[in-house]
Structure 1
């Protein structure tokens, strides 16, 4: 009887259990052994670090082959250049539009709430940041000089460009191209099965990640920036649960509540990993099997979204810019605000989907409007928690775009989208894991 009850726990439930157990363990150890070197060396940086790193590495291991193989498959099916151009234009336009909306919403909220106070101590602020790439460097680096190097380094934009060109060429060489396309279709099935196998590690990986995060997170800075933290969190939630559902309903006519329910697994993964790239295999599985998007659309929009669609990061940059300006007593003009929107929107194209990279791009935005980069030290203490939430927002935006564009292209299976059990009986993580076990 107990075994039957356990087997009914879905992936979401297992992840939540792992997340709760990890947080509980972290809090207990933090309270009972606050200065223990044993806990620090053997539990935090030992056991939990090893398990969490293995989980993240196993997800990242799939990203490059998954993106390349899926994009080649998707592009092969788009034999007409007009279809590929139309799909790319829609995707890019949607991503840039939502990023601009996110930034505008963030700046308006920060101006109205006024989270920063000039009375806050600003002395002895230090923050070492790598130089952010210029827009010209970003554009030049899109085309790979060495595709193999791009794959080994995980340069997603270059991989996407090469995969699209490769797939387009395969679709235009006749019978031989069909044989190559069939091979990539088989490889795509293999890589998706590997994804389902990796999902067996998910609850344990999330447990380790949350446990380590709870043990290492510095809460001493939370009091001084609580208003900033609460404001960013509020805007992120509004964007995820108001703006995105509104756009989904307006552009596709689909029920947003169904979408939100089916995205829970993906959002939990994104929250626990704080990496759009690491979550990409989970996002693609959900988009195709749970939401009904065709592979030829999902394989294009989702990898591109994980690379350039950073609405959550844009919200952080918008609020942080206004917050830092208020702390230093610097008045921003309408022109400055417009420059922030444009710069941060374009900067999102060069923002990698990995934890913490938003702070690097924030330095670029601050320089653009003449604000001290040292102000980043005010928010770095709570950025890790916000990074987890904004990653969940980012992947939600990717999925919304995929559903909307798939619907507009006639490539959305609405029966799958409307079916609450879709993906749970065939092709889902739970079903595949149970079959494997």
Structure 2
């Protein structure tokens, strides 16, 4: 590798890939819109293939990474009761940040009034899937067939089985327990090396994803929903860059600037893939290797956060609810707003394993305050870009909670956290592969 290439960090290369992809996609949209050749061979050909292979490669690692790292972390715990504390702290923090997120969103939407005076036609009729009951969610936590949970990627069931397997390994002890633990340590090293390899291929995958998206994006929809779009983006950025750093500083006394600096790659991955699950390998690698969170904590809080932490989605729901109410000229009371906050916060767990979770949660929220579910059709046109941004917020929240929980449990290596170059040397080795 030449000296010039070494000067460019992985983050810089990913940003260059993202910007280049956006530029290429926008140019194709402007100059070659409707071109069959461009659509067949570039948009739906080369860009689509590279982008999907990149996302599939990330998703390929999610199940083995979560299972192996969580088993390893659990069987390393000297105190099994620590799991209860970890779970209580993590779930509590995720719910609190979600409640704060949607409260900020509602307050901002009430002040700005993005739907005031608009007469928009519904672009699509949205049919909401029925969300499972709380009782069913609790029952579904426990897999009847762990291999089926692995095959379908049911993260909550995988987490539960991994915890039970890890506890059993710890309780077995002796040579059997040591052999199993050593095996999982080896597996974990191999999987993390795969993560590093994929991270160094990321600029090409990000370029393809951005080029395809922006070559197909209808910018007219963004123009007609400009106030709504900008408001959601603004609240998302405020939550990620102001709320999270404040909470991190108050509860852990760690440097929020260093935290955000080390989260840039994860945020770019989240933005590009629009999937917390697909980003999970990168999130866990960053949390454990760059932020200094012990694997026994990070392997639990990161998968849990990717499953139930819905701060970005909650912000969209808060703004969208007020927006739809204003478009349909419905006055919401203080009680209605409180109901929105409560419903969205609790639904973040209740709909965790359901596909299309954001829209399902929004449909639930709208139903609670008597707004037409069809109003979702008004915002579908710009939701893809907003989905990317709120995923970047969600993964930031996952890491922030992981750091706070680790610090409270004495499982945070502050020297690694404060080292700006932590894990960089290992990545340089990965560049040469």
Task: Verify same fold: TM over 0.5.
Answer: yes
Separation in 2 of the partners of 1:192 and 1:242?
31
Separation in 2 of the partners of 1:101 and 1:128?
28
Q: Is the 8 A contact 2:10 2:200 kept in 1?
A: no
TM alignment of 1:18-417, pairs within 5 A = 18-117=17-116, 119-122=118-121, 126-175=125-174, 176-352=176-352, 357-417=357-417
State the 1:419 CA deviation: 0.9
TM-score when scaled to structure 2? 0.96
Separation in 2 of the partners of 1:350 and 1:49?
33
Q: After superposition, give the CA deviation of every residue in 1:393-412 in whole Å (9 maximum; x if it has no partner).
A: 00000111111111111111
Q: After superposition, give the CA deviation of every residue in 1:285-315 in whole Å (9 maximum; x if it has no partner).
A: 1111111111111001000000001100011
Gapped runs of 5+ residues in structure 1?
none
2:431 aligns to what? Answer: 434
Evaluate the alpha carbon distance shift between residue 67 and residue 124 of structure 1 in structure 2; reply closer, same or farther with a 3 A threshold. closer
State the 1:352 CA deviation: 4.9
Partner of 2:13, secondary structure, is helix
TM-score when scaled to structure 1? 0.95
Q: Is the 8 A contact 1:195 1:281 kept in 2?
A: yes
Evaluate the alpha carbon distance shift between residue 122 and residue 435 of structure 1 in structure 2; reply closer, same or farther with a 3 A threshold. closer
| Structure 1, 328-337 or 276-285: larger mean CA deviation | 328-337
Separation in 2 of the partners of 1:212 and 1:412?
40
Q: Is the 8 A contact 2:274 2:391 kept in 1?
A: yes
Separation in 2 of the partners of 1:374 and 1:285?
41
Partner of 1:223, secondary structure, is helix
Separation in 1 of the partners of 2:122 and 2:291?
51
State the 1:432 CA deviation: 3.5
| Structure 1, 44-53 or 346-355: larger mean CA deviation | 346-355
State the 1:123 CA deviation: 5.8
Evaluate the alpha carbon distance shift between residue 433 and residue 351 of structure 1 in structure 2; reply closer, same or farther with a 3 A threshold. farther
Evaluate the alpha carbon distance shift between residue 99 and residue 71 of structure 1 in structure 2; reply closer, same or farther with a 3 A threshold. same
Q: Is the 8 A contact 1:252 1:407 kept in 2?
A: yes
Separation in 1 of the partners of 2:20 and 2:354?
25
Gapped runs of 5+ residues in structure 2?
none
| Structure 1, 133-142 or 261-270: larger mean CA deviation | 133-142
Partner of 1:410, secondary structure, is coil
State the 1:79 CA deviation: 3.7
TM alignment of 1:418-429, pairs within 5 A = 418-426=418-426
Superposed structure 1 runs of 4+ greater than 6 Å apart? none
| Structure 1, 30-39 or 261-270: larger mean CA deviation | 30-39
Partner of 2:254, secondary structure, is coil
State the 1:234 CA deviation: 0.9
Q: After superposition, give the CA deviation of every residue in 1:312-341 in whole Å (9 maximum; x if it has no partner).
A: 001111111111111111122222212211
State the 1:370 CA deviation: 1.6
Evaluate the alpha carbon distance shift between residue 316 and residue 123 of structure 1 in structure 2; reply closer, same or farther with a 3 A threshold. closer
State the 1:124 CA deviation: 7.0
State the 1:371 CA deviation: 1.1
Q: After superposition, give the CA deviation of every residue in 1:364-406 in whole Å (9 maximum; x if it has no partner).
A: 2211222111101111111111111110100000111111111
Evaluate the alpha carbon distance shift between residue 409 and residue 379 of structure 1 in structure 2; reply closer, same or farther with a 3 A threshold. same
Q: Is the 8 A contact 1:274 1:355 kept in 2?
A: no
State the 1:416 CA deviation: 0.7
Partner of 1:329, secondary structure, is coil
Separation in 2 of the partners of 1:47 and 1:364?
39
State the 1:125 CA deviation: 5.1
Separation in 2 of the partners of 1:119 and 1:54?
41
State the 1:81 CA deviation: 2.6
State the 1:201 CA deviation: 2.0
| Structure 1, 340-349 or 390-399: larger mean CA deviation | 340-349
State the 1:122 CA deviation: 4.2
State the 1:363 CA deviation: 1.2
Q: After superposition, give the CA deviation of every residue in 1:246-278 in whole Å (9 maximum; x if it has no partner).
A: 011101111110111111111111111111001
State the 1:174 CA deviation: 1.8
State the 1:118 CA deviation: 5.2
Q: Is the 8 A contact 1:64 1:151 kept in 2?
A: yes
RMSD: 1.7
Q: Is the 8 A contact 1:275 1:355 kept in 2?
A: no
Q: Is the 8 A contact 1:310 1:351 kept in 2?
A: no
Evaluate the alpha carbon distance shift between residue 353 and residue 193 of structure 1 in structure 2; reply closer, same or farther with a 3 A threshold. farther
| Structure 1, 5-14 or 302-311: larger mean CA deviation | 5-14
Separation in 2 of the partners of 1:351 and 1:41?
37
Q: Is the 8 A contact 1:19 1:210 kept in 2?
A: yes
